[in-house]
Every structure is written in C-alpha cells, then in structure tokens.
Amino acid sequence: MSTLMKALASAKIFLAVLLLMSLGVFVGLMLGTGYNGSEETVSATPITPQAAPVAPLASESLESPFVSVAQKVLPAVVNVDTKRRVSYGGFDLDQGPYGDFFRRLFPQMPDQEVEVPTYGSGFIFDEDGHILTNNHVVRDAEEIVITLHDGTEYYAELVGRDAATDIAVVKIDPEGYIPALTFGDSDAMRVGDWVVAVGNPFHELEGTLTVGVISAKGRSDLRIAGGAPIYQSFIQTDASINYGNSGGPLCNIRGEAIGINSAINPSGQGIGFAIPINLAKKISDQLISNGEVVRGYLGILPQELTDDLAEGMGVEGRNGIIVGSVESGTPAEDSGLEEGDIIVEFNGVEVEDVDQFRMLVADTPVDSRVPIEVLRDGDEKTLTATLARRPQDFASATTGTRQNEDWLGVDVHRVDSDVARELEVREGQGVVIVDVRAGSPAESAGLGRGDIILSVGDAEVDGVREFERALRDAYDESIKESEGRRKAKPIVFLVQRQGRTMFVPIRPPKD
C-alpha cells in the first residue's frame, strides 16, 4: 500500500473516534439536563449555592427565657422595713467635761433620740415563713415589717443574725400558703453563667429584676457599702444591684437562689456582690437551730504567703499561709504553733490562702482535735490543736443581747512589733483598731483604723483578750448603773492617735 493510502486510512479512523467521543458528550449533557425525548421537558435547571441553615434567635413565641425566672422568683421576694433609734445631734449634753458648758450655751437643744427607718429586701426560703436577708438590714432593729409581693404586711421576728458573714434570718407567721425559693448550688456556678438579681432598689422600685452574668467568684478583702464582714467569698456580678437590693436573691437561670445580694462597690460601675448561698445555708441552719453561729477558733493572725515571702523563706512552689502571731492562752499556743510557721495543711485539707484557711477553721466543730501540717525552718512538722469557740462571734437571737465586744463595732489586733514599728508606738501596749463597722457606736464616736485603745473604763489593755474582758465588764457595769434610766452610762476609752492621747466617751446601746 502506498504512503498516501495509509495516511487516508489513519485519518478516517481518527475522525470516527472523534465522532464517537462527541456523541458521548452530547448524550451525557442530555441526561444531565433531564431530557427524556419530549420537547416540553427540555429545560436547563440553574445550579445555585445552598445557604447554611440559620439557628433561630428566639423561640417561636419570642418569649425571653427570663420571663419564667421572674414568674418563679418574684412572689418569694419581700420588702424588709425596719426602725431603729439613734442619738440626735453630734454630742450629748450629759457626757464629757464640757457637758455643763454646752448646756449653758444651748439650753434649748433637746437631749433625745430619733427613730430612723431603714429598708432592704429579703426572700422566703421555706413554707414556715423563714426569710433570708442581710445582717446590716436588720441590725439594731426595734421593729421589722415584711411586705409580700402581693402587698400583705407582717410583723417579723428576728430569729438570729451573724455579723461575721452579714447574714440574718427573720420569720413571719403566714396565713395559708406562701411561695418559697429553692436553693441552688453556688459552688457549681461558673464565671460567665447567667444570673438574675431581684430586690427593691431605693425602696421605691419594688420587684425589680436585673440580668447579668457572674463576672468573678471568691472576692474578698472588700471595703463595700453595707459593711465589711469578716468572712468574705463574694460572687461578683454585673447584674445591677443598688441600695435597697440588699438581702434579695441572686438566682440562676432555673430560678434557684444561688446568692444573697449584699453590697455594691461605690467606686465601681456595674459591679455588685452576693454572698454564696452554700455559705448562707450553713449559717441559716445554725441560726434557726440555735439562734447563733458557733465557729472554731485557733488563735493566730494568718498572713498570705506571697511569692516574695516564699522565695525569701526558701519555700517556693508551696501553698500555705504564714503564722503572723500567736495569741497567748489559745489553742494555737497550746498546739505549739510559732510565729513564722507556714501552715500547708489543716485537718487534711491543703491550705491555699488566708480566706480559705479562715473558713476551714470556722467550719471545724468546737473541741475537735485537728492535725496541722507546718513548715518550720524547712522541716515538715505535724501539730495537733483542739479548737475552741471563736470569742469574737456575735449572732444573737434577740436584738437585746449585747454582752460582748460586738456592740462597739470594732475589730482589734494586738500591738505586735510590726504594728508598733509602723505606728511608732510602744509594743505590747493597748490594741490597734483594724476595722470600724459602718453605723456602729465606734464610728459615731469618731474612732478609726489605726487608733490604739489603751484602756476601757478603769482597766488598762495590753492584748485582745484583756480588751474583750474589759469591754464586757464595762458594759455590764454600765447597764447595772443605768437601771431605771432611759440611757446607759457612757464608757470612757483612752485612745492614742498619732502620738496624742485622748478620752473618748461612748454610750453603749440599751434595749
């Protein structure tokens, strides 16, 4: 076969293959567009991208999830109105060396007390009519009136109050059924969880509900409006809390109480604090059962183990607290604890910081024998302490029980070497005031932090125990000598301030 014939044969084969391929592509296109042999069905369906499904922003009813919380919580929230008597004016014509002078100069000024109303919130937590609120809401109250959500009013009885945690329980005798809140678990709440605060801000906006989240937990060492309780582990929230909200519930999304709205920070914006309900439940159980709170007592001044202190003491990488001082005649002294010891474990629980340690000691039953693991000069030691009852506690079932140091409204510490050096005073003489509670007789008399109390009445003071004993004795004597009189006899304190001494008369309250 010639070369030309071979080329023509190859071209025919190539064209045949090309034709078959074209036919295959055409059939494929027809099938892909739905061609079934009928002109009516020949159409091209455009392909468009499919949008991702969008989750609904709300339920079909567009109802807020907080509506059901409000319906559950609001009926159990109450108004707490109290009345207490306070001295009128800035001085008393009967007391002090200038009493006669003031009486001659202002003979028209009355020597009297005035009745001052205070307002707050609370919430019912059982069908017996027990109500949780703040201690500072009902402190020194001569009359407590509870107003329910439906406007019904009751006179309330003070079951007990605890200044150390700012918790109080009052009780009404309801007629028939009353709504009550259930307790949630404050330990299970997390930063970022939704919360609802309910109360009566400004005593004018009853039943106000605000929404926010938990912004922090375990807040302590706070100077806050409403007082500064000794035991602090506040829940911090951005749900609006204002004056008058104190005592109302902080609730979770299920409408369970997980805290007691307690205070606001005057220097902050949109920050409020609530007492964890797990702590409040323990306190309320004791108040209902015993009318008071009994706490364990060790007898040391605990100090935080900072990074710098840990490095300087050669105990880096260890948790714990430092024993700043040991009070004489206390379980701490009997156990062999010494200044400078680092407590790393208490009763089998690892110690993390001062606030946690205080709670551990307070929650331990009185007369319990507990092991204490300490580091001393780099060596580990196990000591044993038998806890006593904390002497500073005041949780009375009646407003008239004041026979201890709480009526004055101060927290004091012995004048140790550090305090003496800082304040430039003599070590071991007197006690230094470390805190003055708002609205207390001490605050009214002008006492402040850093003042040193040298004597109470005729008794000199050289330690905390002596101060407490002198204060109780002076109170008993004042009440005894004031029988038949409307007011108690003033107690004279010798106080040192910035190197100068002065006498300060303070009249204890008399019920």
Q: Which amino acid appears at position 283 of this protein? A: I
246 in active site: yes
Q: How many CA atoms lie within 13 A of 239 on its CB side?
A: 33
Q: Are 264 and 225 in contact (CB under 8 A)?
A: yes
Residue length, the chain? 511
Q: Which amino acid appears at position 9 of this protein? A: A
Q: How many CA atoms lie within 13 A of 29 on its CB side?
A: 9
Distance of alpha carbon 359 from alpha carbon 63, whole angstroms: 42
Say how far residue 44 (Cα) sits from the centre of its chain: 71
- Catalytic position from the list 81, 121, 130, 136: 136
Distance of alpha carbon 274 from alpha carbon 186, whole angstroms: 10
The DSSP output letter for 269 is S
Cβ-based neighbour number of residue 216 at 10 Å: 13
- Catalytic position from the list 81, 140, 162, 166: 166
136 in active site: yes
Q: Which amino acid appears at position 470 of this protein? A: A
Q: Which amino acid appears at position 187 of this protein? A: D
- Strands annotated E in 130-174: 130-133, 143-147, 153-155, 157-162, 167-171
Query: Residue 484, SS3?
Result: coil
Element (H, E) at 286: helix 277-290
> What residues contact residue 150 under an 8 Å CB cut-off, 6+ apart?
75
Closest CA to 437 of 60, 210, 134: 134
The DSSP output letter for 224 is -
Could you tell me the two tokens for 363? 């929650």
- Tokens 């609001």 locate to 74
- Catalytic position from the list 121, 246, 284, 455: 246
Query: Residue 330, SS3?
Result: coil
Distance of alpha carbon 123 from alpha carbon 287, whole angstroms: 16
As annotated, the active-site residues are: 136, 166, 246
